[in-house]
Amino acid sequence: MTESRRRAAGPGGTARGYTAIGAEPAETTGKPAETLGKSAETSRKPAEAGRKKASQPSAAKGRQQATGGRQAGASSPGGRPARLPTRGARSGPGDAANLGVAQANHAAQDLSARLSALASLVQIGSAKAAEAGGFDEQLLADARELLTRAGERLRLSAGHTVVSLAGGTGSGKSSLFNRLSGAEFSSVGVTRPVTRDVHACVWGVSGSGPLLEWLSVPNRYRYARASALDPGEASMAGLVLLDLPDHDSVMGHATDQVDRLVSRSDLMIWVLDPQKYADAAVHRRFLVPLAGHSEVVAVVLNQSDLLSPAQAEDCVQDLRRLLDAEELHDVQILVTSAASGAGIDELRKVLIQTVSERRAAAARISADVDAVSARFERYGAYPAATDEQRLADTVVPGGAAERLGVEFSRAAGVPAIGDALSHATELRALDYVGWPVTWVIERLTRRDPVRKIRLGRLWAELRGVSAGPSGAQQADIDNALTELADEVTASLPEPWDDTVRTAVRSKAGQIPAALGNQIGDALPASTEVTGWWRLVGVCQGLLLGCVIVGIAWMIAILGFGLGHVGDSVPWPFSRLLLLPVIGAAVAAALWAGWFIGNQAAGRVRAQAAAEQEELVQLIGRRLVVVADDLVVVPARQELAELDRFRAELRIATGAAEPAKLADVWD
């Protein structure tokens, strides 16, 4: 035991009114101070009991006394009232307690929703981290660390508030700790380092063991107030006061301890001295990163006994100027002297208020969530938009699938396919409705000597469209996808512009084959022979037969009538007067066959044109389905993920309540 600790100890060498955490409650005269190292299991067993005792009469009494103390109001020498956590109007101690419980429950529910939303942000961001310009890995790591730390803190004793005294060597931090604790537990001095390890003093030990384990407070430096407390001490029940190692310690492990404990404390009190209150190391490393944590940060200008009132006022004004320049406008400044006791009562009131309201842990975590979620905002940024537009879903422009279907039709040559099918239909129909005489003349004039071969190749080409990518030009498809991606991602923040663009093109390699398959399925197996084709064919055959018979008859008359070939020839084959009549009949049959063939061909062309239009429309509808399935749906899913991210971000930042946004992603 150090000399300073012996001075604070009573008979037997222990501090009166104190006991080591894990020992039996001390009597009024005190019991030997033992460390928690001998009773680690004992400290874990009352963890649940500690939560239950948080609402027992002693704690309620402390809150009522703290309420009375706050009504007087504490102010700093800087002329600005000391900022205390927000509280509602009260009509009496009972109403204040009920209101505090209600506010605490609401804050806990709100914090739970915000942590859940932050977890969703991390999940979404982790999935996008590998993308070009994706989420910052350090941000995701910080968010995961916060979620882990918050979960651990919320599972520990809710009836205790962790308050840390932090500062540099010679600032009087340990002296303040001893003054508030009522005993010289922590060594004091001006040489570096003085405080090498964290010290803890606990008011109300029940349930604090696991919390101190989480804070990694060494067993030999854990102390607790005894159960027989005076009314002033009872109002601080639930306080875990830490004396942190000097932040400017030459001991490397001490610096790591300060960083860890600063992040785990519910209320941070930075102790500065008149000589080093503007120390850049403190401001840049610790205070500036805590901007936005004003509710759980306080600054104490200690050693005021070394200053005159005017000098103290000047120091406070200059310190306020520094804090304001660092966006720490609402951080309260208290002026104290551990040597004379000046300002200690005001500091104690702050501790009592913080402990009695039981909101510091949630407020600290909430402030940390504010800081981390604000770093996610650039990933959910909006273009200039109204609030209604911000709440609206981000969607693929209307008609995108239809426009892509048109582009895919061009790329796959669907109009040419329709023309080819129309031509094949006409060629096929001529076999039935065409006038054979015209057909013979065309063959003799060699206008289409390989028609049958050409028809077979045409159908082979049409059926070959379903073979795959050769049925469509990949470059044309890529151009269509690029145009759509540019339109959709024009106003999206990073990395969503890249992820949506990737989603649009994610199945580009499957598109040509899909187009070919759809076109092949839409094509008929072959040109269907309709009934009227056959009827016209029969008619044309009869007319051709008549022409042949007529010509043969005329030849017979010429042979028998003029050439006098044979005797006893029947008169129909020898009367020359019949030649004009038969010739007219043959001419009529030829004209009739030609006329019917032309009329039938016109009707065939009209039918082929209608079938061509129907086929093109059918293929167009099928290609729209391809565009929707392979392009629009992936893009829509990615945009839906962006909407979910933005909705979770609004909850995490506290910009909206979960209930109001529950239907955004449902």
pLDDT in tens, 585-605: 989 988 888 888 888 888 888
> Residue 350 in contact with residue 298, Cβ under 8 Å?
yes
- Same domain? For 151 and 21 the reply is yes
* Higher-scoring residue by pLDDT: 45, 428: 428
Question: Domain of 28: which CATH number?
Answer: 3.40.50.300
Cα angle vertex 581, ends 575, 582, to 5°?
80
* Confidence check: pLDDT of 7 > 50: no
Q: Which of 239-248, 446-455, 649-658 has the highest mean pLDDT?
A: 239-248
In a domain, 590, yes or no: no
Out of 347, 378, 409, pick the residue that ends a domain: 378
* Confidence check: pLDDT of 375 > 90: yes
How far is it, in rounded angstroms, from Cα 418 to Cα 126?
49
Chain mean pLDDT for the chain: 75
**Most distant pair of Cα atoms in the chain: their distance:** 170
Q: What is the pLDDT of residue 565?
A: 62
Q: What is the pLDDT of residue 201?
A: 93
Structural domains of the chain, count: 2
Name the token pair of 13.
């060498």
> Residue 9 in contact with residue 16, Cβ under 8 Å?
yes
In a domain, 583, yes or no: no
User: What is the side-by-side order of every strand in the sheet holding 199-202?
Assistant: 18-20, 222-225, 199-202, 239-243, 161-167, 267-272, 297-301, 332-335
- Same domain? For 355 and 477 the reply is no
Q: Name the least confident of 22-31, 98-107, 363-372, 493-502.
A: 22-31
Band (pLDDT 50/70/90 cuts) for residue 103 is low
- Same domain? For 344 and 195 the reply is yes
For residue 242, give the H/E element and its range: strand 239-243
* Higher-scoring residue by pLDDT: 383, 47: 383
Q: Of 245, 240, 284, nearest to 266 (Cα)?
A: 240
- Same domain? For 368 and 404 the reply is no
Residues present in the chain in total: 666
- Same domain? For 210 and 243 the reply is yes
How many C-alpha atoms does 568 have within 13 Å on its Cβ side? 0
Q: What is the pLDDT of residue 269?
A: 93
How does pLDDT run across 121-173, given as a tens digit for each residue? 999 999 887 766 689 999 999 999 999 999 999 898 888 999 999 988 888 88
92 CB-near residues (< 8 Å, 6+ apart):
none
In a domain, 603, yes or no: no
- Same domain? For 307 and 426 the reply is no
How far is it, in rounded angstroms, from Cα 26 to Cα 38?
17
Band (pLDDT 50/70/90 cuts) for residue 432 is confident
How far is it, in rounded angstroms, from Cα 428 to Cα 528?
9
What is the amino acid identity at position 491? S
Q: What is the pLDDT of residue 114?
A: 93
* Confidence check: pLDDT of 616 > 60: yes
- Same domain? For 340 and 447 the reply is no
Query: Do strands 297-301 and 267-272 pair parallel, antiparallel, or not at all (unpaired)?
Result: parallel
How far is it, in rounded angstroms, from Cα 111 to Cα 652?
9
Q: What is the pLDDT of residue 494?
A: 86
Band (pLDDT 50/70/90 cuts) for residue 473 is confident
- Same domain? For 78 and 172 the reply is yes
How far is it, in rounded angstroms, from Cα 353 to Cα 262?
20
Q: Name the least confident of 186-200, 380-394, 443-457.
A: 443-457
Per-residue buried b or exposed e for 53-82, using 16+ beta carbons within 10 Å of the residue's own CB: bbeeebbbbbbbbbbebbeeebebbbeeeb
In a domain, 600, yes or no: no
- Same domain? For 90 and 215 the reply is yes
In a domain, 566, yes or no: no
* Confidence check: pLDDT of 660 > 70: no
- Same domain? For 64 and 206 the reply is yes
Q: What is the pLDDT of residue 105?
A: 66
> Residue 52 in contact with residue 220, Cβ under 8 Å?
no
The mean pLDDT value for 44-69 works out to: 36
What are the backbone dihedrals phi and psi of residue 337, each rounded to the nearest 5 degrees, phi first?
-145, 110
Count CB neighbours of 224 within 10 A.
Answer: 25
* Confidence check: pLDDT of 30 > 60: no
Name the token pair of 3.
């000399």
CA atoms 46, 52, 55, 57: torsion sign: negative
Q: What is the pLDDT of residue 231?
A: 55
* Confidence check: pLDDT of 640 > 70: yes
In a domain, 536, yes or no: no
Q: What is the pLDDT of residue 93?
A: 44
Out of 378, 412, 439, pick the residue that ends a domain: 378
- Same domain? For 356 and 435 the reply is no
The mean pLDDT value for 283-312 works out to: 88
Range of the domain at 419: 400-528+611-661
269 CB-near residues (< 8 Å, 6+ apart):
163, 164, 165, 166, 297, 298, 299, 300, 347
Q: Name the least confident of 186-195, 279-288, 554-563, 640-649.
A: 186-195
* Confidence check: pLDDT of 86 > 60: no
* Confidence check: pLDDT of 475 > 70: yes
How far is it, in rounded angstroms, from Cα 438 to Cα 428?
16
What is the amino acid identity at position 9? A
Q: Report helix, strand or coil for 161.
A: strand
Question: Among residues of the chain, what percentage have pLDDT more than 70?
Answer: 70
How far is it, in rounded angstroms, from Cα 355 to Cα 386?
42
Out of 378, 412, 441, pick the residue that ends a domain: 378
Name the token pair of 224.
């607790």
> Residue 110 in contact with residue 92, Cβ under 8 Å?
no
How does pLDDT run across 299-352, given as a tens digit for each residue? 999 999 999 999 999 999 999 999 998 888 889 999 999 889 999 999 999 999
- Report pTM: 0.68
Q: Of 36, 25, 33, nearest to 6 (Cα)?
A: 33
Please tell me the chain's helix, strand, coil percentages from 3-state DSSP, rounded to the nearest 5: 65, 5, 30
Name the token pair of 19.
């006991």
The mean pLDDT value for 387-406 works out to: 74
How far is it, in rounded angstroms, from Cα 269 to Cα 177?
11
For residue 528, give the H/E element and its range: none
Q: What is the pLDDT of residue 461?
A: 57
In a domain, 360, yes or no: yes
Q: Name the least confident of 6-15, 276-285, 439-448, 533-542.
A: 6-15
Q: What is the pLDDT of residue 48?
A: 38
Count CB neighbours of 31 within 10 A.
Answer: 17
* Confidence check: pLDDT of 81 > 70: no
Q: What is the pLDDT of residue 253?
A: 65
In a domain, 666, yes or no: no
Query: Do strands 18-20 and 222-225 pair parallel, antiparallel, or not at all (unpaired)?
Result: antiparallel
Strand partners, 353: none
- Same domain? For 130 and 246 the reply is yes
Q: What is the pLDDT of residue 145?
A: 95
